[in-house]
Amino acid sequence: MQVLNKSILKKSVPQRKIKILQFGEGNFLRAFVEWIIQDLNDKGAIEAGVAVVQPMPFGRVADLKKQDGLYTLRLEGIDKGQKVKSSRIIDVIADCLNPFEEYERYLKYGESEDLEIIISNTTEAGIALDATDTDFTVCPKSYPGKLLALLKRRYDYFKGDKTKGLAIIPCELIDNNGDELYKCLLELAKINKMDEKFIEWIKTANHFTSTLVDRIVPGYPKSEIDEIQKETGYIDNNVVKGEIFHLWVLKKEPHIQKVFPADSTGLNVIFADDIKPYKQRKVKILNGSHTALVPVAYLCGIDTVGESVNDPVIGKYVRDFVFEEVNPTIALPQDEMTAFANSVIERYQNPFIRHELMSIALNSTTKFRTRLLPTLEDYIRITGKLPAHLLFSFAAIVEFHKGKRGNEDIALNDDPEYLNYWKKLWAEFDGDCHKLAEKALAWEGAWGNDLNKLHPDITDTVAGYLCDIEKKGMKKAVEDFVNA
């Protein structure tokens, strides 16, 4: 059986001008953004190829190059009451590059007359200021640093031509992602003492929008790969699987709507005046419940989201967390919140999706801050009480970073600085759960504040949950918690 590439296709791949530079080559971008770009191309709304930029030294670019940028997207789920399963080859990737090895070739895209759009998804930690990104003779470490280097090359090459600005569309799951990226770029430009005229060009020639993305993407379907290869007749090491449901909300920006009319082909794409209500609902419920259930369910010996919500104990835990602790913190009609929450649980139960908990566990420290901390703060502010399920999940996150599930090592995958801190906390643990809880909550470097100060009972509450988990094991501790 041959590996998927252009030579084995029965039809030729269109030669499209590269108008989109995409930072990130992960599962989500390939199963969501590139799928939408494919639809726009197929229906004649745009004619654009994509150059994929690997944002980290390690990644998938080499694998994509071997397949000429081609890969199979498999969508499975329930659509209008019917089970739907489809496979299609996505052919929009026209170039792949690793800027850490091909920095000058990367910067050359700044000189492109065809380039119009920047899209990114570099995880929640990707849009952050790295003040040490000051040597632009080599590839900057951060995503804002890489983008700033590209924009500087573009500004210099086109001599400040304001018609050469770009439409910049971040998809990272943080509030006001477009505004935050814009701020990072300006601050980093000032740190590097860049020309004020260049900074003004960033402000006036380029177009930023904030976005919300929503599709569950389990990624590579390793348990089904033999079936898929038999069905397709080729080997594809970049197969990606996603659910049918999709939603992309972008804040209205006239230039971006013109060059990237993503709402024009009938997909669930919305250009909205205000994306905040959509963002809160999605991040707090869907992403927040993911992050809350992962350490609890995984330490109970469960490996997937579907198994988690179908388990009588974990399923009740997740539902009670969403309906009792998340929904009251969102300023939308409660009937709408109930309907959305129920739809999320149904999506988790999609029989076709095997969403591995460990894939969600990536960057779990940052994910707690962005996905769960707002709910914690809002719940205390609104009710004056503590959200018990959320704090049990916090204790579970602490326990998760002990790095053990029974006798099995957990493959922790997070910022090295965070992993080192967790390792230090557990190395210093002497059996005093209160001290451990206090230190974990006080970690301002991760949470932005000392969480011990949020409520007089928060430290004792987390300490109690940690003691239960340590003494009883997670399975018994969560059973007792749910049945209390």
Taking the chain (484 residues) in runs of 10, the rounded mean pLDDT of each run is 93 95 96 98 98 94 97 87 87 98 98 98 91 96 97 98 98 93 98 98 98 91 91 95 93 98 96 89 92 97 95 97 95 84 87 87 93 97 98 98 96 94 97 98 97 98 98 98 94
For residues 438 and 385, the answer to whether their CB atoms sit within 8 Å is no
What is the model's pTM?
Answer: 0.73
Question: What pLDDT does 81 receive?
Answer: 67
Collapsed DSSP state (helix, strand, coil) of residue 394: helix
Collapsed DSSP state (helix, strand, coil) of residue 406: coil
Question: What pLDDT does 355 receive?
Answer: 86
Question: What pLDDT does 218 receive?
Answer: 85
Question: What pLDDT does 49 receive?
Answer: 98
Give residue 59's region: left, alpha or beta (phi > 0; psi -120 to 50).
left
> CB within 8 A of 114, min separation 6: which ones?
17, 18, 19
For residues 469 and 400, the answer to whether their CB atoms sit within 8 Å is no
Helices (H), 193-324: 196-205, 225-232, 254-259, 276-281, 288-299, 305-310, 312-320
Question: What pLDDT does 166 receive?
Answer: 98
Q: How far apart are CA 303 and CA 348, in angstroms?
A: 13
Strand pairing class (408-409; 404-405): antiparallel
Question: What pLDDT does 282 receive?
Answer: 87
Give the H or E element holding residue 380: helix 373-383
Question: What pLDDT does 276 receive?
Answer: 87
Q: Hey, CA dihedral for 354, 357, 362, 368, is it positive or negative?
A: positive
